[in-house]
Amino acid sequence: MHQVVSATTNPAKIQAILRAFDEIFGEGSCHIASVSVESGVPEQPFGSEETRAGARNRVANARLARPDADFWVAIEAGIDEGATFSWVVIESRDQRGEARSATLPLPEVILDKVRAGEALGPVMSHYTGIDEIGRKEGAIGVFTAGALTRSSVYHQAVILALSPFHNAIYR
């Protein structure tokens, strides 16, 4: 059984990680433990590079906190060019996989508050009345009328980031 450390305690992210690992390695083949670690970037990262750095930092910090795992996984959400997205970084002892998620364009009324220094999650919670929306369906669930959720979009990115770990051509 693979020991997987999720560098987050966010249920939407953990669900995406668990589902992706089950699909790639087989149902029940992984045990996921979660740790809360720092990203080393602002609470609301801007741009692809800052967001990826946050995910990489979380993986490094999760490895320090739980060095006995087989995989360490981080999902860092950010804002880039008026849209929300995330970077997924997965590491094993000797390999790294990274993937960027799909992007959701955000309305200007939301972006104005985020650009003014507020994080997207609290802005969306205020806008929707849904407490801790970032731990649930997220802006993605709201603006796609539930057709997609934060977790479903992250799930795809985790699947993509896992590609180097089960395809020999990457080695």
* Residue in 142, 168, 170, 21 with CA at minimum distance from that of residue 88: 21
Find the DSSP H helices in 26-148. Answer: 48-65, 108-115, 120-128, 138-143
Cα–Cα distance between 121 and 119 in angstroms, integer? 6
Q: Check the annotation: does 98 bind a ligand.
A: no
Q: Tokens 């990680």, residue?
A: 17
Q: Check the annotation: does 38 bind a ligand.
A: yes
Q: Check the annotation: does 164 bind a ligand.
A: no
Q: Residue 58 CA to chain centroid, in angstroms?
A: 11
Q: Check the annotation: does 12 bind a ligand.
A: yes
Q: Check the annotation: does 113 bind a ligand.
A: no
Cα–Cα distance between 153 and 90 in angstroms, integer? 16
Q: Check the annotation: does 13 bind a ligand.
A: yes
Structural tokens at position 155: 């799930």
- Binding-site residue set: 8-13, 38, 68-69
Q: Which residues are annotated as a binding site for substrate?
A: 8-13, 68-69
Which residues does the annotation place in the binding site for Mg(2+)?
38, 68
